[in-house]
Amino acid sequence: MSVRAILSLVVLVILIGSHESTPIPDGLRKVEEAFVKILGQSSHVLSFARFTHQYGKKYENEEEIKHRFSVFKENLDLIRSTNKKGLSYKLGVNQFADLTKEEFQRNKIGASQHPFATSKGSRRLTGRALLQTSAPSARDWREYGVVSPVKNQGALPGASWAFSAIGAVESAYHIKHGKGSYDLSEQQLVDCTYSQYQQTTEAFDYIKSNGINNETQYPYLGVKGGCRSYYNSVVNVTGYVPIPSGAEDELKQAVGSTGPVSVSFGVLDTLQHYQSGVYTSSEPCENVVGVRQYGLAVGYGSEEGVDYWNIKNSWGEGWGEEGFFRMERGNNLCGIAESPVYPIVA
Ligand SMILES: *[C@@H]1O[C@H](CO)[C@@H](O)[C@H](O)[C@H]1NC(C)=O
Ligand SMILES: *[C@@H]1O[C@H](CO)[C@@H](O)[C@H](O)[C@H]1NC(C)=O
């Protein structure tokens, strides 16, 4: 069978596979057969076929199939060897399993974010307001319905700061006004802020000066474009509160008593494949050069004696625990408490 024929078969199978009534196992079997012809017979090849089938992957030619398979195989080995260690978290095959860690970092996280940049000039939060209410031992803002659905930054590298900031504003608005579901515009932030180090604080500054539109008014395109004219804003921000760098206890205080807080963290290759549980690392990860992702701390708690943060990410619902992940709390893992900040909404 020619490569072209195999590829059209894969595409065909994927097209057919998207209709629920068609017999998917048969389609999958054909993908398997096609891949076995190119890659040989092994359990890895069968896993790869299942993966491409499940995520509707399309590859250009036989060479790319071979290359992606070798990347997938390496990732699968990392996933399996990590899971054998009996850690507090599990890795699994997700939509990123055919990307090298370099590709993942480049395409998802962005190359040149300045670590800890937002912590500069932050002030200690020892004011009366904070001390008055003590944070509960566990908190999950999702239970209050104030956390908007997980979004997907797509292939726009380094856009997570915009998603983190918008998520924080959506939650803060909901908590303050007792109603929400404003689906606010990340694209407006991406297009209209000009910054060397993309940061949530700049997002809040922008919204403070300009307000922010919603997704209908200024939809997400997933590429940076020119700042377009926009409509009357639907939500405004009056300021933001940075949490002192490294003060995880104050981050807990803020999440526990105020609401979700924008955070950032260093990213190791295992996070690409995170599936569930409390993520931890014996390798230092607070300052992986150029690799920093922004998220939204929506709660915290403990599981089997391990304290964790619950963080909303922007890699879609297919990643992690329906788009969220839990990260060990208490030792500033991956620099999670280096630059937290939350907005004050009007
Ligand atoms: C965005 O705001 C406009 C104007 O208020 C409204 O008509 C539209 O439904 C809103 N869209 C979303 C997704 O909230
Ligand atoms: C936000 O601020 C702008 C500029 O001051 C104003 O025109 C707009 O009405 C405000 N929007 C809301 C929702 O408060």
Where do the DSSP E strands lie in the chain? Answer: 89-91, 139-140, 237-242, 261-266, 274-279, 292-303, 306-312, 324-328, 341-345
pLDDT band, residue 111 (cuts 50/70/90):
very low
**pLDDT value at residue 197:** 59
CA of 184 to the centre of ligand 1 (A): 9
What integer best gives the mean pLDDT of the chain?
84
Q: What is the pLDDT averaged over residues 191-218?
A: 86
Q: What is the CA radius of gyration of the chain?
A: 22
Of the ranges 30-44, 81-95, 100-114, 242-256, which one carries the lowest mean pLDDT score? Answer: 100-114
- Is the CB of 238 inside a 6 Å radius of any atom of ligand 1? no
- Is the CB of 182 inside a 6 Å radius of any atom of ligand 1? yes
- Is the CB of 149 inside a 6 Å radius of any atom of ligand 1? no
CA of 184 to the centre of ligand 2 (A): 14
**pLDDT value at residue 145:** 93
CA of 214 to the centre of ligand 1 (A): 6
DSSP 99-163: S-HHHHIIIII-S-PPTTGGGTT-----SHHHHHSPPPS-EEGGGGT-SPPP-B-TT-TT-HHHH
Phi, psi of 243 (to 5 degrees): -100, 140
Which ligand lies nearest the alpha carbon of 235?
A: 2
Q: What is the pLDDT averaged over residues 86-100?
A: 95
pLDDT band, residue 60 (cuts 50/70/90):
confident
Protein residue closest via CA to atom 8 of ligand 1: 216
Neighbours of 1 (CB within 10 A): 10
- Ligand 1 atom closest to the Cα of residue 181 is 14
Taking only the tens place, the pLDDT of each residue in 74-88 is 999 999 999 999 999
- Ligand 2 atom closest to the Cα of residue 234 is 13
Neighbours of 315 (CB within 10 A): 27
CA of 174 to the centre of ligand 1 (A): 15
Tell me: pLDDT of 8 over 50: no
Which residues does ligand 2 sit against, CB inside 6 Å? 211, 232-236, 346
pLDDT band, residue 29 (cuts 50/70/90):
confident
**pLDDT value at residue 212:** 93
pLDDT band, residue 181 (cuts 50/70/90):
low
CA of 238 to the centre of ligand 1 (A): 21
Tell me: pLDDT of 114 over 70: no
- Ligand 1 atom closest to the Cα of residue 215 is 13
Q: What is the pLDDT averaged over residues 94-105?
A: 91
- Ligand 1 atom closest to the Cα of residue 231 is 4
Tell me: pLDDT of 196 over 80: no
Q: Which of 185, 186, 232, 234 to mutate to test the pocket of ligand 1 (most atoms within 8 A of CB)?
A: 234
Taking only the tens place, the pLDDT of each residue in 225-283 is 899 877 788 898 999 999 999 999 999 999 999 999 999 998 888 999 999 999 998 88
Taking the alpha carbons at both ends of the chain, their separation in whole angstroms is 63
**pLDDT value at residue 13:** 42
pLDDT band, residue 179 (cuts 50/70/90):
confident
**pLDDT value at residue 180:** 74
Which ligand lies nearest the alpha carbon of 183?
A: 1
- Is the CB of 216 inside a 6 Å radius of any atom of ligand 1? yes
The number of angstroms, rounded, from the C-alpha of 90 to the middle of its chain's C-alpha atoms is 17
Which ligand lies nearest the alpha carbon of 231?
A: 1
CA dist 83 and 101 (Å) reads 18
CA of 220 to the centre of ligand 1 (A): 14
**pLDDT value at residue 26:** 60
Query: When comparing pLDDT for 3 and 105, which is higher?
Result: 105
CA dist 5 and 97 (Å) reads 25
Of the ranges 157-161, 172-176, 282-286, 289-293, which one carries the lowest mean pLDDT score? Answer: 289-293
Of the ranges 25-34, 79-88, 208-217, which one carries the lowest mean pLDDT score? Answer: 25-34
**pLDDT value at residue 113:** 46
pLDDT band, residue 15 (cuts 50/70/90):
very low
**pLDDT value at residue 112:** 43
Tell me: pLDDT of 141 over 90: yes
**pLDDT value at residue 103:** 87
**Residue 178 in tokens:** 């007792």
- Is the CB of 234 inside a 6 Å radius of any atom of ligand 1? yes
Query: When comparing pLDDT for 71 and 179, which is higher?
Result: 71
Q: Position 25: which residue type?
A: P
Protein residue closest via CA to atom 7 of ligand 1: 216
Tell me: pLDDT of 144 over 50: yes
Q: Between the CA of residue 65 and those of 8, 25, 31, 97, 131, what are the distances in Å?
A: 13, 21, 12, 13, 58
Q: Are strands 139-140 and 89-91 parallel, antiparallel or unpaired?
A: unpaired
